[in-house]
Amino acid sequence: MGKIKLIILREYLTRVRKKSFIIMTILGPLLMAALFVVPVFLAQLEGDTKTIAIVDETGLFAPKFKDSEKLHFEILNEDPESIKLHLTDRGFYALLHIPITELSVPNTAKLYANGQPNIIVTGYVRETMRKEIESLKLSASGIDPEILRSIKSTVNLLTIRVDEGGNEQNSSTELSMVVGYIGGILIYFFIFMYGAQVMRGVIEEKTNRIVEVIVSSVKPFQLMMGKIIGVAMVGLTQFVLWVVFTIIIVTSVLSVFSADINAFRSSQLQLEKDPIIMYDSGGETIQPQNQNMENPEQINEAVVAIFDQINSIAFQLILPMFLFYFIGGYLLYGALFAAIGSAVDNETDTQQFMLPITVPLILSIMVAQFIIINPEGPLAFWLSIIPLTSPVVMMVRLPFGVHWVDITLSITLMIAGFLFATWLAGRIYRTGILMYGKKPSYKELWKWLRYRS
C-alpha cells in the first residue's frame, strides 16, 4: 500500500506542476465565466443611444414610440427617400417609414439602415406597432377594454412533488432538466478528459522504457492503480478550483455591471409594462386601470416560489452522488483506458480498442434528452444501473427524484463494475506494459487475460 501511495503522490505532483495544468486551471474558469460575462460586455460596446427617424404617413404610430436609454426617436415630416440616402450624415441609425395603405389599419412598415438593424431595434418597433394595431382593431369593433383584460389570462401550473410520507414540495421540471443535463455533461467531459490522460501517460512511460525501471520495484497492478488514483486526484483538484474561480469571477463581474444590465433590459421591460391603449368612439384614449401596478404580495409570492423550486432539487443527494459517479465512473473508465495504453506502443494503435469502450459513454449522453422526457421509463432505469452508462444517466435522473432502490442498485453495480474492470485491466496491463514492437489484436488480448500469474 505504501508503494501505491508513492506512485499516487508522484503522479499528482508531476501533473499539477505542469504548465498545461496551470494554464487550463486558469483558462477553464475564464471560459466558463465568459459565457455569462461576454453578452453583458458586448452590450456595453453598443452603449450609445441609437437615433431612429420616423416618417409616419398614417399619423397613428409615431407618438407610441417612447425614448429609452438605448433608443431615441425623432418624428419627421419629410420625404423618406431623401432621409434614407443621408442616414449617417444626419446621425440616424435607421429610418422607420410607415406608409398609408388601403387597409383601415395598416400593418406594414419599412425600416431602413446602412447595416443590419439589431434585434433590439426591430423587436421594439415590431412590438410597439403590434400593440397599437391591436388597440385600433379592438376600438373599431367596439370591444370593452375590461372584457379584453378579463379574457387575457395566464395559467400558473404548479408542479408539486409528493413523497412516500405524503409530504408535498413545490418542484420545477425545467430546473430539474437543466441540473440533470449539466451534471451528466460534466461527468461525460471529465471521464473522457482524465481517462485519456491516464492512457497517454501509460503510453509515454512505455515508449520511453521508464516502466521497465518502475516495475522492478512495484507490481504492474500497483503501478496501474497508483496512476489511476493520482490522475483522479488531479481531476478533483482542477474541478474544485474551476468551480471556485468561476463563482468568484462571475459574481464579481456581474456585480460591477449590474446597473448596466438593468439599463440594457429597460427597453424590453418597458414594452411589457406599457398598457394597450384603447380608444373610445370619440377618439379619446382609455387608460386601463392598475395595468402597471406591482403588487408587493405577488412579488413576494413569486420570490418564495422560486426558492421553493430551487429547494425542491435534492442537492444534498445530488452533490454526493455527483462525487461518487465522478470518481466511480472515472475509475472504471480509467482502468480500461490504462489497459488500452499498456497494450499499444503509440496513440494511433488505440483506435481499434477505443470504440467499444467509448460507445456506451457516448450513447448515454445522446439519450440524455429522452431520459429527461421520461426519467422513470425502462430505458432510463436500465441505463442508470449499467456501470458503463450509469455515471451520466443517473446524474440526469437524480433531479427528477429516483427511488432509493434504483440508487442502491446503481451504486452496487457501479462498485462491482469498477472492481471487474480493474481486474480485467490489471491482467492486460501486467502483460502489455512490457510488450514492445507487436501490434495486439482482440485475440491477443484474450490470451493475455487467460495468462496465470
Per-residue pLDDT, 304? 56
DSSP reduced 3-state for 170: strand
Residue with cell 483538484: 237
User: What's the chain's Rg over C-alpha atoms?
Assistant: 32
**Which CATH architecture is the domain 50-145 placed in?**
3-Layer(aba) Sandwich (3.40)
Task: Count Cβ atoms below 10 Å from residue 322 Cβ, excluding itself.
Answer: 19
Domain ranges of the chain: 50-145, 177-244+313-450
Per-residue pLDDT, 346? 79
Per-residue pLDDT, 215? 74
* Integer Cα distance of 104 and 376 in angstroms: 55
pLDDT in tens, 294-343: 455 554 555 555 556 666 677 788 888 998 999 999 999 998 998 888 88
Give the pTM.
0.66
Per-residue pLDDT, 393? 94
Q: Could you give the C-alpha distances from 444 to 118, 162, 172, 420, 440, in angstroms and in order?
A: 62, 55, 52, 20, 6
Per-residue pLDDT, 188? 92
- Cell numbers describing residue 87: 442616414
Inter-residue contact 205 to 224 (CB < 8 Å): no
Please report the sign of the dihedral spanned by the C-alpha atoms of residue 99, residue 102, residue 105, residue 107.
Answer: negative
Q: Please enumerate in sequence order all residues whose Cβ is within 8 A of that of 433, keeping only pairs 6 or more positions apart, or say none.
A: 202, 206, 211, 215, 220, 223, 342
**What ranges in 274-314 are assigned the alpha helix state H?**
296-312
* Integer Cα distance of 226 and 116 in angstroms: 58
Per-residue pLDDT, 42? 65
- Cell numbers describing residue 185: 455533461
Taking only the tens of pLDDT, the chain with its 453 residues reads 678 888 889 889 988 998 888 888 888 788 777 776 676 666 556 557 889 999 998 888 888 898 887 888 999 988 888 888 888 888 899 999 988 877 666 778 889 988 888 888 888 889 888 888 888 887 777 777 667 767 777 777 767 766 666 666 666 777 788 888 888 998 998 898 888 888 888 888 777 777 777 777 888 788 888 888 888 899 889 888 888 887 787 677 667 655 555 554 454 445 444 544 444 434 444 444 444 444 555 545 555 555 566 666 777 888 889 989 999 999 999 989 988 888 887 777 788 888 888 899 999 999 998 998 898 899 999 999 999 999 999 999 998 888 889 999 999 999 999 889 888 888 888 788 777 777 777 888 888 887 765
Residue with cell 395566464: 154
Inter-residue contact 158 to 309 (CB < 8 Å): no
- Cell numbers describing residue 6: 508513492
- Cell numbers describing residue 277: 391603449
